[in-house]
Structure formats: C-alpha cells, structure tokens
Amino acid sequence: MVLSYLKFLPLVILLGYGLTGCATLPPHSVHKSFASYAESVFRHQNEVSSRLMMLNDTDQLPDSEVFGDAEEAMSDACHLLNEYAERESNGESMSWRFEAKVQASIEGCDASIQKMEALLAGMGKEY
C-alpha cells in the first residue's frame, strides 16, 4: 500500500504548485512555503508508513489496539493528501473546493503522523 504511494514522489512537487493559493503555514514552521510543507508531510507519512510495514512484516510491531488505532487515524487524516497525489499522478483536474479541503487537512495529517512516530519511538519502552 505505502509503496504504491512512492510512485507519486515526482508529482509531489506538482502538489505544491496546486496547493499554494491562500494556504498558510502552521505557526513556527521551518518551511518557506505551503507547498514545501505539504510535500514534507506527504514524504513523512510515506516514511512512517513504510516503517510500519517493515515492522509488521518482521512481526516486530506490537499487537496492540493503540498502534492499530493510531495507524488508522493517520490513514484517515492523510487520505485527502494521498488522494490529491493520486489524482495528480493520473492527470485529473481538481476543483478549488477539493484543493481547499486538502489544504485544511494537512495540519491534522501532520499531527497524526507525529503521534504515530512517537508511538514507534516509545515502542521498546512500553510495549
């Protein structure tokens, strides 16, 4: 699943061009543009998802509802960003309303990724 998103990597740059409109950066952002922030979130989600897949494949991921719920929350929070990348990859045009929804969802996606990453970092300590 995650590896299929990696084929969209070249299109992530285009993602930024479509999402620059009136979008704003989150407070204290290190990114110079919203496009850079969106691309960073997309890449980060793919990285964390890949780690989850590797841990799951090697049976190193704890069999815990906490991890399952966090992974599902991340997937739900990031689905619009992933859908945007897929549509962009297919050359589909998107309405400004859809692009606005994607813009509005990116901070929540980023937060859910960070929660999942914190769980992974604490995996050996609590689980």
What are the extents of the domains in the chain?
A: 2-19+32-126
Q: Look up residue 89 and give its amino acid.
A: S
Q: Which structure tokens are listed for 6? A: 């990696």
Task: For residue range 41-89, list pLDDT tens digits in order.
Answer: 999 999 999 998 888 888 777 777 888 899 999 999 999 999 988 888 8
Residues composing the chain: 127
Please tell me which residue, 72 or 18, carries the higher pLDDT value. Answer: 72
1-5, 31-35, 123-127, range with the lowest pLDDT: 1-5
Give the containing element (helix H, strand E) for 113.
Answer: helix 96-121
Residue 12 backbone phi and psi in degrees, to 5: -60, -35
Please give the model's pTM, rounded to 2 decimal places.
Answer: 0.71
- For residues 6-32, one letter each, b for 16 or more C-beta atoms within 10 angstroms of the residue's C-beta and e for the rest, the string is eebeebbebbbebbeeebebeeeeeee
